[in-house]
Amino acid sequence: MKEITKKIPVGILGATGSVGQKFIELLKDHPWFKITALAASERSAGKLYKHAANWFQAGEIPKNIGNMVVSPCDADLPCKIVFSGLDAKVAGPIEEVFAEAGYIVISNAKNHRMFEDVPLLIPDVNPDHLALIEQQKTPGKIVTNPNCSTTGLIMALKPLDDAFGIDKVSVVTMQALSGAGYPGVSSLDIIDNMIPYIAGEEEKMQIEALKILGKLRNGKVEFSDLTISASCNRVPVVNGHMESVSVSFKKKVKREEILKAWKEYSSEPQELELPSAPKTPIVYFDDPRFPQPRLHRDLGKGMTVSIGRLRECTIFDYKFNVLSHNTVRGAAGSAVLNAELLVAKGYYED
């Protein structure tokens, strides 16, 4: 692994938004990275960050961050790595401009996820896909992380697919409000209610899973042949996506074998001891009441995925519940872990 001798300057695009704020929270004391630039829309550019942002994270804005002047999203920031928390409506062309200018763009937006030469990366699942950036023709590079609901699901499926081969998956999500950003869902819509539709979410889960679980061969990803059906719902929980998952396997599997696969699973981030990698990426609870968002979303500083209620299914082979912190493991935390892997693998040069 590349030795980190001094902190690497990084910038945040869309720094005033919900994902941008989570990036600040995760990066403010990071051992490898130092925030040297905050960029946002023209409405915020030129203001002190503390005056531009409607801060809604736990605790106050770090003083040094609050007194930074927000820049426009122009490719002249004093860094070479930028984390993009931009809204998908504007992220695509802005991220491409930065890549053309030589920046490494670590993106949370959906715009480039399915590009053939762009890694759709969960470092605990498909770290080898990072090599796709070698196919990109721009001076800089773009790396993406998946949709927040996809991430928790794939973390649970990966050990099982490796060990036994998964044939079909059905997943029903109960997704937290923070996944809609700020101001998000109206209180009159969500209090005493659930919303059984999240635009584009089901399609993203179904296609992103196939790329992530696919095999990298000859510089391209051969998509998985997994069949997946997703139904997505918004529920009155602040943080933590819960998913009810049913799976069928390509061969006969015992319950104890599934539990063993989850318990023993680790990957390259754990081997490299990356700063944001949880020591235990997956935790299984025997208590049938668990996991629960309020109790378990912050395990592993929000990077551990919790699973419970593994039992036989009358239609598929088995079914279980999965919980992941959607704004940490499913968004900013995954992007930071992507950047750590990229640096550790030697793709960043001072």
Indicate which residue of 73, 112, 129, 241 is catalytic. Answer: 241
Residue 306 and residue 286 in contact, taking contact as beta carbons nearer than 8 Å: no
112 is catalytic: no
Q: Indicate the DSSP class of residue 299.
A: G
Indicate which residue of 73, 79, 148, 232 is catalytic. Answer: 148
Cα 328 to Cα 305: distance, rounded to the nearest angstrom: 11
Q: Indicate the DSSP class of residue 74.
A: -
DSSP 118-137: S-B--TTT-GGGGGGGGG--
232 is catalytic: no
In a 10 Å sphere around its CB, with 0-12 CB exposed, 13-18 middle and 19+ buried, how is residue 288 labelled?
exposed
Contacts of 338 (CB under 8 A, 6+ apart): 106, 119, 121, 123, 130, 143, 145
Cα radius of gyration rounded to whole Å, the chain: 20
In this structure, the number of other CB atoms found within 10 A of the CB of residue 326 comes to 29
List beta partners, residue 37: 11
Cα 93 to Cα 99: distance, rounded to the nearest angstrom: 10
Positions marked active-site: 148, 241
